[in-house]
Structure 1
């Protein structure tokens, strides 16, 4: 059954409203788009929606108990709940350096999880 969906494009700050004629995930036509990137976004959003993911993972022996992390590129939207579960189970050893890969090839996607700040080791009292 052919449907027309409205999608807000997020590739730039303009936030254009896109109208997409599709049958399931098969895009027949992008009826309205502000630019070429909008058309590409509409197609990818219906066929393989992805999102950047930011979260935290536990740190053992760190100045703080958690370190912020993010995906190296956009992550398949359907796998995000599984990724969140995986990240809850990860504990890295301090010190952690910014841009350090915390998890390689997350869930077999080829996408890495990267630390977004330094996390020094806890200072021991001497």
Structure 2
């Protein structure tokens, strides 16, 4: 089986081709200009992951709080994690880097504030 991907690791946007065997293991990657493209293709073809970023409303604040996961999570977990993050109710004041949810959806990844938010 062959998968066609576009690398997003740098501005080049290389057109990648990933060959998988019958067990869905990566056999060969082509089209990459650098090692980052190879690593991206191997991960993306078998188990895609993404860093999740959202904005969460904060009672008493004039603007929403931007949050993100501290590491990529499996792509299929994103809808469940996004819903869990939307249910958060952080309280002012909030410092950048504050952990708002530890181990979101048992992923081993935390959700943190990406900016300071005061009254």
Same fold (TM over 0.5): yes
RMSD: 1.5
What runs of 5+ residues in structure 1 fail to find an aligned partner? Answer: 122-126
SS at match of 1:46: helix
Contact 1:16 1:33 in 2 (8 A): yes
* Equivalent in the alignment of 1:124: none
Contact 2:3 2:45 in 1 (8 A): no
* Equivalent in the alignment of 2:102: 104
* Equivalent in the alignment of 1:38: 37
Higher Rg: 1
Distance in 2 separating the partners of 1:32 and 1:12: 14
1:60-110 CA-partner distances (Å, limit 9, x unpaired): 3x3225211011111210100001110121101111111111111111111
Moved over 4 A (4+): none
* Equivalent in the alignment of 2:24: 25
Number of residue pairs the alignment of both structures matches? 118
Contact 1:64 1:119 in 2 (8 A): no
SS at match of 2:56: strand
Distance in 1 separating the partners of 2:19 and 2:50: 22
Structure with the bigger percentage of strand: 1
* Equivalent in the alignment of 2:54: 55
TM-score (norm 2): 0.89
The alpha carbon displacement at 1:113 in A equals 0.7
TM-score (norm 1): 0.85
SS at match of 2:90: strand
What runs of 5+ residues in structure 2 fail to find an aligned partner? Answer: none
Distance in 2 separating the partners of 1:105 and 1:50: 16
The alpha carbon displacement at 1:25 in A equals 3.2
